[in-house]
Structure 1
């Protein structure tokens, strides 16, 4: 199948027979039910595949409820011939059937309904925070263009924001533009606070709340990072080895080896870019000497000793790892990415430990 906003292009094959086209159908529930009946009339066991895309997982859930073996595949991992220059929905649907039969497709993780809802809330929060960052940058650029500078630290603290509220331009048009920039920032701040409060209320009732709590025992992993990472990763038990999580995050080195020679390049940067960004940001905190700061001690309250000990092991190893890489002449950015790769392994381990220990769902400070 090849779904889009208004139609679904369908192709099928029976056993090892030729691939045939069923044409296009609509996306309404009635037309999908009619398609399911047609497919069930052709075989007792039906496997269905379609590309992951902007239409989400609704079709997958409908097909699963009807008893079909449904798979959502990763578009970037579908085999393609180098010289292929003609692309149509009908050809792509037939190609999916052949690739499924050959076992050449890679399935993407389909979150549960509750997990997807929580992820939507977390992504809305992340999007508003990005809007806030861009709004602040626009105001800084506006002030720089007119030679207006703040004498203190422009860190958007209380004194900085007070100065902005009291500053005014002589020209009425410039003053209006300035006020609109400043009001946009204030609106985004209110929106961020509203969404963060909703997240803190919702996460307590989420099934991965123990993982969010446990990950905050680690250095560099605060509430923002923990919620963002877990909402994007979902069920970490689907990764049987930490290397699988590292590969999913795109922090493993690319490789081109042949003729007995092994050549490794930059990281692959595949998978979830937002989760990778959070991971690398957390890894920067391991540049400094290992220590348990007061804010980390506060996050340790109520957590099992096994998780706290594992977080300390991670800090000792990763801080040492960064210093060794820099001492060997590695660039700081390269060293941090290497630390981030190992940090992903500790996240995998602590998350599994948290679920095994069955941490309480409430009563913890986040």
Structure 2
């Protein structure tokens, strides 16, 4: 009876390929979280012992690592701790780089790869961000409107009403959190003026 009346709502079910593509992006996400945590632990250790990297200089460059490795301590066992933290950061960073490289190599085999090329034309979205979005959402054309997509991601205001009163609150934060976080992070790029990166300059773009 409900089917005849059109009451049931269609539900998108990801196919096997779609499910499989989610795993690499989620694994990379896990590695990035570990990398961030390990870096925070190293930073906290260094600060706790009175060392400060200049705030106007970029962290996690070769110069930063050279500075970290030059630090000295009164007790030898503190040097051991420093070296272990540095090694841990480098190891997890290498894992992130490895899985990123392998994801790029299998990307052309994905049926949604052509759509990914369209997404990266938008400022703030790179290949990894596009892979996360498409991996979590599938073919975005299945949404009837941007408003429907935003509602699916929990980026629409919550609403509370009573009688004639209507009050909107914070965004609902329902739906897929990975896709929502990626889209929000990409949107932050629009705070800044568009500019040519070194990568584009090298390409002559």
The TM-score with structure 1 as length reference comes to 0.49
Report SS of the residue matched to 2:123.
coil
Stretches of structure 1 that go unaligned for 5 or more consecutive residues are 1-102, 302-366
Sort the Cα spacing of 1:297 and 1:106 in 2 relative to 1 into closer, same or farther, 3 A.
farther
Sort the Cα spacing of 1:105 and 1:188 in 2 relative to 1 into closer, same or farther, 3 A.
farther
Residue of structure 2 equivalent to 1:115: 18
Sort the Cα spacing of 1:242 and 1:116 in 2 relative to 1 into closer, same or farther, 3 A.
same
Contact 1:218–1:296 under 8 Å retained in 2: no
Please state how far the C-alpha of 1:297 moved relative to its aligned partner.
Answer: 9.4
The TM-score with structure 2 as length reference comes to 0.85
Residue of structure 1 equivalent to 2:130: 226
Distance 2:199 2:57 in 1: 29
Distance 1:278 1:260 in 2: 37
Contact 1:219–1:285 under 8 Å retained in 2: yes
Which has the greater radius of gyration? 1
| 1:134 maps to 2:37 | yes
Distance 2:14 2:131 in 1: 15
- Alpha-carbon RMSD across the aligned residues, in angstroms, is 2.5
Distance 2:165 2:26 in 1: 42
Sort the Cα spacing of 1:295 and 1:215 in 2 relative to 1 into closer, same or farther, 3 A.
farther
The number of aligned residues is: 196
Distance 1:108 1:183 in 2: 46
Distance 2:135 2:121 in 1: 17
| 1:183 maps to 2:91 | no
Report SS of the residue matched to 2:65.
helix
Residue of structure 2 equivalent to 1:294: 196
Please state how far the C-alpha of 1:294 moved relative to its aligned partner.
Answer: 2.6
Distance 1:167 1:106 in 2: 62
Please state how far the C-alpha of 1:296 moved relative to its aligned partner.
Answer: 10
Higher relative contact order (CA 8 A, sep 6+): 2
